[in-house]
Amino acid sequence: MAKQDACAVKRESARRTVEKIQSADWQLACQGLAECAIIADVEQTEDLLDLELLIPALTHLLGSLRSAVVKETLLCLDVLLARRASEFKEFVSSDTSSLFYALLEKSSFDKKFVMSSARNTLSLLVRSVPTARLLNAAVELTEHSRAQFREQVAVVIHEALLAMEIQEPEV
Amino acid sequence: MMLHPVDSNIERIFKQAIPSSILVKAIFTLVSQIRSCWRENLFTKQANDAHQGTRRFGRLAARQYQVIFCEENSAETWDLLLQQQLGATLYLLTMKWYRASGHPR
């Protein structure tokens, strides 16, 4: 009974964390992101954080003009990628609203320290997602109008090809 | 860019028929041969992009692609493919940066 109660408390706490992340208040969002990283890191129960709900919210926050929010979002994504890498393939596509596209944008056009963090996260994503899926998304972006964006696409393709031999043939 | 239907069919058949991870590398090499759209993108768009950084990483990627391809194919086949797919001007340009970066050819 006590175990069930503890589970319910954790679930409620995770739900509130996602609500904070979705909040319009940037300070509350930052607090939610920090909590989310802790939950993802400490609690190994996967159903506490629903990635289908969480990743679109994080992708939205990556577009924030506040560097603190973006940095916190990238840290949160790093933890999620370290813990639940296999679930990220759904979020890689050439669509402008995808996490992959948002990370390419941040890696190519922002303040230096934000770009550096975004490149690390993008690299983690490249190593987490099946190469074929990643390449299919990346080749569609090779004609982007911004040169720095195209450069990041080239980096991603290079990293994906380097990782090609050690991954599962999954699309 | 959409995957050619034949590409995805072959991939599906392979995934169904040979799930063993021992054959992963071989299947992947085969799939990578089929994906001519990737090759085309690397050589015509990235490796010869107007932006220097894109060109640099595009060429590194093209070289890596060649390494993967040549694990199962001869260098002559690779050369023939480039000649067929790139057209005369782009082929000459490619050979130029291949030689400039110490490529054996």
CB of A48 within 8 Å of a chain B CB? The answer is: no
Q: Using the beta-carbon criterion (under 8 Å), do B24 and A148 form an inter-chain contact?
A: no
Q: Tell me the pLDDT tens digit for each residue of B11-57.
A: 555 555 544 544 555 555 555 555 677 777 777 788 888 899 999 99
CB of B6 within 8 Å of a chain A CB? The answer is: no
Q: Using the beta-carbon criterion (under 8 Å), do B58 and A135 form an inter-chain contact?
A: no
Out of A150, A158, A169, name the one closest to residue B15 (CB): A169
The per-residue b/e assignment along A114-142, b for 16 or more CB within 10 angstroms, e otherwise, is bbebbbbbbbbbbbbbbbbbbbbbbbbbb
Q: Please indicate, yes or no, if residue B6 is contained in any of the structural domains.
A: no
Residue B85 is part of which domain span?
25-100
Q: Please indicate, yes or no, if residue B40 is contained in any of the structural domains.
A: yes
Q: Please indicate, yes or no, if residue B59 is contained in any of the structural domains.
A: yes
CATH no. for A2-166: 1.25.10.10
Q: Tell me the pLDDT tens digit for each residue of A98-125.
A: 999 999 999 998 899 999 999 999 999 9
User: Chain A contacts of B5, Cβ < 8 Å?
Assistant: none
The band of A34, judged by pLDDT with boundaries at 50, 70 and 90, is very high
Q: Please indicate, yes or no, if residue B15 is contained in any of the structural domains.
A: no
User: Chain A contacts of B39, Cβ < 8 Å?
Assistant: none
Enter the ipTM. Answer: 0.80
Q: Please indicate, yes or no, if residue B7 is contained in any of the structural domains.
A: no
Structural domains in chain B (count): 1
Q: Could you give the angle at the alpha carbon of A157 between the alpha carbons of B39 and A76, nearest 5°?
A: 155
pTM, two decimals, is 0.79
Q: Using the beta-carbon criterion (under 8 Å), do A142 and B46 form an inter-chain contact?
A: yes
Q: Please indicate, yes or no, if residue B89 is contained in any of the structural domains.
A: yes
